[in-house]
Each structure stands twice: as structure tokens, then as C-alpha cells.
Structure 1
Amino acid sequence: MTDRQVPLKPAATVLLVRDHVKINDKIEVFMVVRHHQIDFASGALVFPGGKVDDGDMDAALIDFLPESERRDDPLRAFKIASIRESFEEANILLARNRQTGRLVTHERLDALADKYRMPLQNGELPILDMVRAENLELATDLLGHFAHWITPAHMPKRFDTHFFIAEAPPHQLAAHDGEESVDSVWIGPNEVLTDADKGIYTVIFPTRMNVEVLSRFDSSKDAVAHAHGTDTFTVLPEMEVTDDGKFLLIPEEAGYSVTRRRIDEIMDK
């Protein structure tokens, strides 16, 4: 047995939110059900996201960002990855027409999706090729930094994941890709928690914790503004072994409702 830690893989995920009053919720978030053959969180209800690609780190992309976003930013590649992944997995593209300064329309989104969505997902071209050819600006300024989770050291696969949040463009229609994700839903945060407890959905622990935080907001605008206006605490859960079992510990400073949870209970969610 070796004590060497598994290397971290940079990853990004995005909470696309909109206002929609339901019985117990005032906002909805777009979530996808991952394919059962995916090697991480297979079959789970998750936010769109994935690993940061080499192409997301290309310095040439700086010229295709808003001027306010061109300063040094350690989160730049994560933001770009979250926009790319939301396009690939949710058919939502947070990008502007550089001529008009407006977010891409639904009609143009359809054309872009037909041409670029699958090649991007298959790694056949980097996102730089698309934004350069289509004269687009990636709207990283719309993304609020919602959370930052690092997979515990004892896990066989480890991710350094940044969660972002943005209001979904009202004129774009979200849809899962049918490849990495096999279903999708606009769903309220409290609805997610209720359905997870009923066994309708599988929701992994970090997703559940961030859904709980999202449930505290009364509007999508408030949720995004809060993310823009507050610092994000890095969560690196630690494992505690006692006579009563194994527990995962979450720092209290992170602001989640749970600071200690039995690992077998987490695995059941």
C-alpha cells in the first residue's frame, strides 16, 4: 500500500439558474443525469461540468474575453471550461456576438451547436477555434464563483473542482447532449433534495451540499450576486476514523449545513 496521493485533475462545473416559482422553490437550476458508463458519478444528477482541457488554458483566449476579465486570473481556465462544458452538456452558450455585444441568440445557438458542439465534446477542436471563427466573446464576467471543492486525499480519483453560477440566458433552450448525459431537468433546489431522499435521483455529496446552499436564495439574481460579492472557501474534506465508523469532516467556515457525516450515509445518497 502506498501513501502517495493521486494527482488532482482540474475541473469546472456551472449552476445555470433561472427564476421559477414552485411549491417550495423560487428558482430552478439546470441539471443533467450522467450516463451510466461514465467513470465518475455515473447515473448521478449533477450540474454540467467536466475536466479542464488543455485548450481552455490557451493564452490566446484572453483576446476573446471581456476587457474586465483580461487581468491575471488563476480561475480563467476554469471559467472557460465551465462555459465550454455548459455548451457541450446543456446547449447553453455564455458568449456574446463581438459586433453587437449581445449574448448569442437562440437561432445562432442552434447553428453553433450543429457545427461545434460534438467536435468540442470529442476533443476534435479547441474552443479557441470556435470563438475565433465565429467572432465570439466568452462571457466569463457573468460567472460568479460559487464553491471550490477538492477531492479527499484517500480517494482513487481526485478533482480540483471550481463551481460557478450564472443566470441562464432566457432566449436559449437548455438540452442534454445524449452522450455524457442521458437526461436533463430544470429543477428547484428543495425539489432536488426531496427527490434524492426518495431515491428518485442519485445526488453525490458535493452536489447535494451546493444544492442546499442554492436553496437559501429567493431569486437567481440574488444567488449570482452573492457569488460575485463573497469570497469562496476551499473545501478539502478530511476523513475521521472512530469506533463508530468513518466520517467525512467539512470545515465549518465553508458555511454548509453539514460539518460531519458518516461516509456510508454519503455513499447511499
Structure 2
Amino acid sequence: MDLKEMFDPEGEAPPATPAATLVIFRNCPEGGPPQLLMVQRSKEMRFAGGAAVFPGGRVDPADYELAEAHGASDDDHREELAARIASIRETLEETGLAVGLHQRPSLEEALAARAHLLEVGTLAPVLEAMNWTLDLDGLIPFARWRPKHKEIRVFDTRFYLANLGTGAVDLLVDATENTHLFWASAAEALRMADTGDIKVIFPTRRNLERLALFDSFDAAVAHVADYPSRMITPYMEMRDGVPWLLIPHDAGYPVHGEVLETAARG
């Protein structure tokens, strides 16, 4: 298989695992651009090993069941609600941060909920035990990425925005999948990637470049109103004999690609 066929968005797409990730904003304690929560994945992980990413993971069968309990009206709505639920569940599991709720849990409540989640593996019993209700409308759809690589694992990942406000919380890393948690502005994360302090894969870099445009959560929400979430499928194009990995020019991203050789794809 040649590179053009591998990255041709018009060709047949391979099966993809549904996944979801949460871009969590908080006010910077020192002022300035908002900070985003990132997790550094263990090097042993098959996908994006060693990379800094936003918290999230695959959509589980129980997430679909909970979506149906929350009134999923058809298959598309079910997929959407299940992805939002998965992003909330994975964030709680990976970071100890409880978001996407109508309640504002205390640190002790969040840690108790995380311990319960790690024990039972699904979110529904945790919500019942904590007397919490989901605020699924509080998550803002930002983007949806579904690469077409046919020789590596493919995820159909929905990105959502959430606002923590002050961010006055403690976090607890899930050491089975991740090694480090940190807050950084989008611009800071890009500088860390450029200096080699962190590794970012192609979708994360493009999303960080887009997120660096915003000086507040409200600015990000306003931007999404102009550029609603859409499917992003990277494609390859030859430029002066050099293959580039690119994304559409009209999806709200300020940078549309890079030389394929430099693009970390997980």
C-alpha cells in the first residue's frame, strides 16, 4: 500500500474504535491565557505511547447503555451521548476530576467516586451512589477526528470542551495508563513539544494550535459557533516531491498540516 492510498480521504475507511476526549479549561492562577489539562501516556501503551494528550479513551458498551437511559433518540444521538459519557468517565478515572455534572463535587467526593469507578468499571453505579446527575449539554463539541490509516489502530475520536473555572482541585494520575498530569496553556504545550519536553501526535498538535487562538473559554465557544464540530480525516499531498499530511482548510484550524516525515501519528 502506498502512502497516498493510506491517507486518501475519498477511499474506503477502515473500521474505527469510537473514542472521546475532553479538553478541560481552567483560569490560569497567574492570569493570562486559560490552561488545559493534559496527561502523559505511559510509553508501554500501544496507542500514542509516551505522548501528552487530553484525558479520554474508548467508548465502552456501558456508556451506550447509559446513553439510552438518558433518552438517546436514534443511533446518531446514542453515539453522541455515549461519547460524552465516555469522556466524563475516562476523565474521572484518569485524573480524579469529576466534570460534566450538575453538581460541584468536593475533592473528597471526587476521589471517592474515582475509587468506586475503578472498582466497578462503569459510571452508572457511581452516579447513583454519589447522587450525581450528568450535565451532558455542558460539554461543547469541538471536533471529531477519524484518520484513515490502514496499517495502524484507528480511533474515531470526538473532542469536547469543558470549563472548570478556577481549577482549584487536586488531581490523581491513573498510573496504569499515564505517568504525569499537568496544566498548561495551549501555547505553552506547543513550546514544550517544540523543545522536546513532551511528545504530541498529529491531531493533538493541530488541536493545540487551534486552542491557542482563544484567550478564554467563552472565546472558544464563540469560535465553535462559527466552525461547528465536523469529521477531520487527514490526507496526503505531494508538495515539491515531499509528502505532506494535511487536514481541510475550512474547519477552523490555523495550521493545516506538516511534512509527513515529522508528523507523529501515534
- Residues 1-269 of structure 1 aligned to structure 2 (within 5 Å): 6-20=14-28, 25-58=32-65, 60-61=66-67, 63=69, 73=77, 74-96=79-101, 102-116=103-117, 118-119=118-119, 124-168=120-164, 170-224=167-221, 226-227=223-224, 230-241=227-238, 244-267=241-264
* Cα drift, residue 219 of structure 1: 1.3
* Cα drift, residue 241 of structure 1: 4.7
* Cα drift, residue 173 of structure 1: 2.4
Q: Provide TM-score, normalisation by structure 1.
A: 0.84
* Cα drift, residue 151 of structure 1: 1.2
Paired letter, 1:115: H
C-alpha RMSD of the superposition = 2.7
Match of 2:9 in 1: none
Flag the 1:182–1:228 CA change in 2: closer, same or farther, 3 A: farther
Matched positions, count: 254
* Cα drift, residue 226 of structure 1: 4.0
* Cα drift, residue 145 of structure 1: 0.6
Cα distance in structure 2, aligned partners of 1:155 and 1:251: 22
- Give the unaligned 5+ runs of structure 2: 6-11
Q: Is the partner of 1:138 in helix, strand or coil? A: coil
Aligned residues of 2:45 and 2:177 also touching (Cα < 8 A): yes
Moved segments of 4+, more than 4 Å: 1-5, 60-63, 69-72
Q: Is the partner of 1:136 in helix, strand or coil? A: coil
* Cα drift, residue 19 of structure 1: 1.4
